[in-house]
């Protein structure tokens, strides 16, 4: 399953909403879709799984939605510490596949 | 807390071999599936392989089948990745990652990766 993310780069003002998109080349069964955050120089961190469930310790400003082939990650009020690259990943079938990433910057 | 520390990376010539290790601590290693994911410099993430909690099941991405071997030693809390017949396009930081929840039977992996190690760099160059 090929995962495509858009936009490649997103510049958002502090406190504003950031909306990231992820599209799958075929339906992701059971909404087996995860989002990861990778800050510069760090390992990726799991944010969201099953399309909309926040992982342990993830702030409520991060939310996920979608099903089938269209998924969205929303950061409701962007903070400076949210500057990172965000990746979606499907785990409905092997091989596990990631999107190309969306880089979120502060405007 | 959970810690994953990879080592064993380095510079190797095309056609050469390396063995990567991932030392795990802070959780019951023998009850979790484990993954390897790689990231070429400045590029995105590519999943490489997964191994079940007891080592009986293994799955690889197509580009490494027949060249890489994933294994584990539960007595040493260590995950391995043997890399053979290396190519320039295998150059990347290799991360190990723990499956999110412990598995059993046919449900041996959730395929959600949490957490990840910092990675070890493999550079294939002549």
For A48-63, how does the pLDDT look when each residue is reduced to its tens digit (9 = 90+)? 999 999 999 999 999 9
The first and second tokens of residue A44, run together, are 């990726």
**Phi and psi for B62 in degrees, rounded to 5?**
-60, -35
The first and second tokens of residue A5, run together, are 């993310």
A17-58 pLDDT per residue, tens:
999 999 999 999 999 999 999 999 999 999 999 999 999 999
Q: A102 to chain B: nearest residue by CA? A: B44
Q: Report the pLDDT value the prediction gives residue A45, as an integer from 0 to 100.
A: 98
Among B45, B46, B62, select the one facing A44 at the smallest CB separation: B45
Min distance A57 CA to chain B CA atoms (Å): 12
Q: Which residues of A touch B112 (CB under 8 A)?
A: 34, 46, 49, 91
Residue B53 DSSP label = T
* Residues from A in contact with B at Cβ < 8 Å: 32, 34, 36, 42-46, 49, 55, 87, 89, 91, 94-101
* Secondary structure (DSSP) of B45-69: EEEEEEE-TTSS-EEE-GGGTTTEE
Q: A33 to chain B: nearest residue by CA? A: B112
Among A43, A45, A98, select the one facing B44 at the smallest CB separation: A98
| Pairs of residues, one from chain A and one from chain B, whose beta carbons lie less than 8 Å apart | 58
Are the CB atoms for B38 and B92 separated by under 8 Å? Answer: yes
Residue B57 banded pLDDT, cuts 50, 70, 90: very high
Q: Report the pLDDT value the prediction gives residue B107, as an integer from 0 to 100.
A: 82
């Amino acid at each position: 399953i090929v995962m495509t993310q858009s936009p490649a780069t997103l510049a958002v003002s502090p406190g504003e909403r950031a909306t990231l998109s992820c599209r799958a080349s075929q339906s992701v069964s059971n909404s087996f879709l995860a989002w990861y955050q990778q800050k510069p120089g760090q390992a990726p961190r799991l944010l969201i799984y099953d399309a909309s469930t926040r992982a342990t310790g993830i702030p409520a400003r991060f939310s996920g939605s979608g099903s089938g082939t269209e998924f969205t990650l929303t950061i409701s009020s962007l903070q400076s510490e949210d500057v990172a690259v965000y990746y979606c990943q499907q785990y409905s079938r092997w091989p596990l596949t990631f999107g190309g990433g969306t880089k979120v910057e502060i405007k | 807390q959970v810690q994953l520390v990879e080592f064993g990376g380095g510079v190797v010539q095309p056609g050469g071999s390396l063995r990567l290790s991932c030392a795990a601590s802070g959780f019951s290693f023998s009850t979790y599936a484990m993954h390897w994911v790689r990231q070429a410099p400045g590029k995105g993430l590519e999943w490489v392989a997964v191994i079940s909690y007891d080592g009986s099941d293994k799955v690889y991405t197509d580009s490494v089948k027949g060249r890489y071997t994933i294994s584990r030693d539960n007595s040493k809390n260590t995950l391995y990745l043997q890399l053979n017949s290396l190519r320039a396009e295998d150059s990347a930081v290799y991360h190990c990652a723990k499956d999110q929840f412990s598995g059993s039977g046919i449900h041996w992996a959730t395929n959600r990766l949490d957490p990840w190690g910092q990675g070890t760099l493999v550079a294939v160059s002549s």
